[in-house]
Structure 1
Amino acid sequence: MTDIEHPESFHGLPVLTLPGPDRPRADPLPAADTVAWRLESAWQSDLTFAALWQYFLDTVDTTAIRALLIGPWWEEEYTPFAPVVELLCADADRFPALRALFLADVVSEECELSWLEMSDITPVVEAFGQLEELTVRGCGEPVEGTEVLGLQPVRHKALRSLRFESGGLPAGVVRAIGASDLPALEHLELWLGVTEYGGDSTVDDLAPLLSGAAFPKLRHLGLQNSEIQDEIAAAVASAPVVAHLESLSLAMGTLSDIGAEALLAGQPLTHLTSLDLHHHYISDPLVDRLRGLIGPGRVNGEPHEVEYWDPDEDDERYVAVSE
């Protein structure tokens, strides 16, 4: 699995994983507003996340915390995220300075992306009305007896950056984003994923995002990690939103010459400072044409490990992150 890692910094702050109550500390904890706090309970003996959360509230000045990351929260077996959502919402008033939240900072060595049993995160978005940055990783496998990521349309005046990392982002979540009122949103990144892991959204589901009317301040749009990347590229080629963007990402998916040709034949892209296409299946001549059109330093054309995809071998194409 690629493109998944623990961030060393978040919201401009270095990430610090809080040592549990049973972990000796040689140095005192830093001031609450100088780091992004990361919590993980899965690897700390028998410590439950609820116990770690209470220790966190009792140990750190939560009124000054600016950024928070939730890492592995389970004990012995993977469990749904809903109890963590309840804890966050119950104590939201104790975090008046919180501006950035990461749900959930977990890598494949801890749990595969699509095995993370997320839940409806709408209550978190509503409870933290001052958030400027929200990253959500994972979704949950769409099988009976498991929870999956959910979101309802929301109004949030402060949110500037919204990022969903998923091997299969449900269409309901995509539609909810498009129906949300986010007047400050500048950065939107969606890893759409594959149908096998619940990524059932279509180009039609993206229409509100592509219209340019949903988020007037949007300057970066990432519609990536998709098995319908060519269809998305064709829609983007004539989408009104593109004229307002500074950067665009169609990376991590199955983008081929078909999608590249659509981009080249579509509306001007020369105003973009960055076009990210990494992990693609485009032939070298078309990559060169895109670089010549937009500028060599502004196109990330790093291909998949095969330099050229054979159109007769369609089943060889795959997204960067699925399971």
Structure 2
Amino acid sequence: MQEVKLVVSYDDYEDGIRMEKLIKELAAKPEASSLESLVIGDWGQAYENSPDEFMSTLVESAPSFPSLKKLFIGDMGFEECEVSWIIQTNLTPLLGAFPELKSFSVMGSSGLSLEPLQHAKLEELIIICGGLPKEVLSSITHAKLPELRKLELYLGVDNYGFNGSLEDVLPLLEKGLFPKLVYLGLKDSEIQDEIAKAAAEAPILDQLEVLDLSQGTLSDEGAEVLLASDKIKKLKHLDLSYHYMTNEMISRWNQSGISVDVSDQQQSDEDDWRYPSLTE
């Protein structure tokens, strides 16, 4: 069994069905031992209920899933729950329960905690949200993840949880924090220009293959600094998709010889406001 997604719809929840029950049923199946990927979708009115309702059950059921390599908590569409409304909790017990995990993804940041963040084998950490609290950023910058190869963070906006600044992001641009990291995504940010300028000559570029600054408010201001960087030219790929760059800047990127994605150009509104892709 490769992957299973568990979902409790609104109607199911109203009828008394709970995620705890679905997890127990899955764990009881013989094929649970070969499950490699488990996706937890809507656990039932996630805008009011946190994963605390089923966390202990999932942790206790961990021995039934010895082959689990990938875990996603909160995979749901806006029709189920807006990403900024999803209530999370301290998810670190899951990392302790699944020592063979390679990939861990989370959607939603309200109430999210990853303290302490440590795992001997985790290679991929993805957090998708409308705004990432600086407390979670701090947990990541102090994490012990020696095998981490991909870190993808949706930083978001202050209205939906991002209460930090560039200073909270800068530690992620230092070399050696995660020695095996080759993909860094600092995405969906309202301070994308600031991040771009800081990243342009950052020590972390010496070890990266891919830098992802997509889905944010990047303009010519940040793009100009990136384009002038010799370190950026050495990347295998640079993702700047969903941006606010001018046609002239896009043309310069296309002629740069750099592997870069500058698709999905946006236009600021009449008051010159720019918005990241995922803010609700």
User: TM-score normalised by the shorter chain: which range applies?
Assistant: over 0.9
The answer for the alignment partner of 1:248 in structure 2 is: 211
Deviations 1:49-84 (A, max 9, x none): 122222222235322111100011116974112222
Contact 2:27 2:65 in 1 (8 A): no
SS, match of residue 69 in structure 1: strand
The 5-angstrom pairing of residues 128-277 of structure 1 reads: 128-140=98-110, 148-277=111-240
Return the match for 2:272 from 297, 307, 314: 314
1:94 counterpart residue number:
64
CA apart distance, 1:240: 0.4
Q: Is 1:37 aligned with 2:7? A: no
Taking the aligned partners of 1:232 and 1:80, their CA distance within structure 2 comes to 32
CA deviations 1:168-227 (Å, max 9, x no partner) are: 111111111111111111111000000001112222112221001101111111001000
C-alpha spacing 1:78/1:59, structure 2 compared with 1 (3 Å): farther
Shift of the alpha carbon at 1:256?
0.6
Contact 1:63 1:96 in 2 (8 A): yes
State the SS of the aligned residue for 1:314: coil
- Given residue 26 of structure 2, which amino acid in structure 1 is its aligned partner? F
Closer/same/farther in 2, CA of residues 300 and 76 from structure 1, 3 Å limit: closer
Q: Give the residue type in structure 2 aligned to 1:63.
A: S
- Shift of residue 271 of structure 1? 2.0
Matched residue, 1:17 = none
What's the Cα RMSD here? 1.9
8 Å CA contact 1:272, 1:294 repeated in 2:
no
Q: Tell me which amino acid in the other structure corresponds to 1:95.
A: F
| Number of the residue aligned with 2:55 | 85
| CA–CA distance in structure 2, aligned partners of residues 75 and 202 of structure 1 | 31
CA 1:171/1:75 → structure 2, altered by over 3 Å: closer, same or farther? closer
Task: Give per-residue Cα distances to partners, 1:212-252, cap 9 Å, x unaligned.
Answer: 11011111110010000001001101210012111111000
Which segments of 5 or more consecutive residues in structure 1 lack a partner in the other structure?
Answer: 1-31, 141-147
Q: Which moved more, 1:284-293 or 1:120-129?
A: 284-293
2:182/2:209 contact within 8 Å kept: yes
Could you tell me the TM-score, scaled by structure 1's length?
Answer: 0.81
State the distance in 2 between where 1:294 and 1:188 align. 26
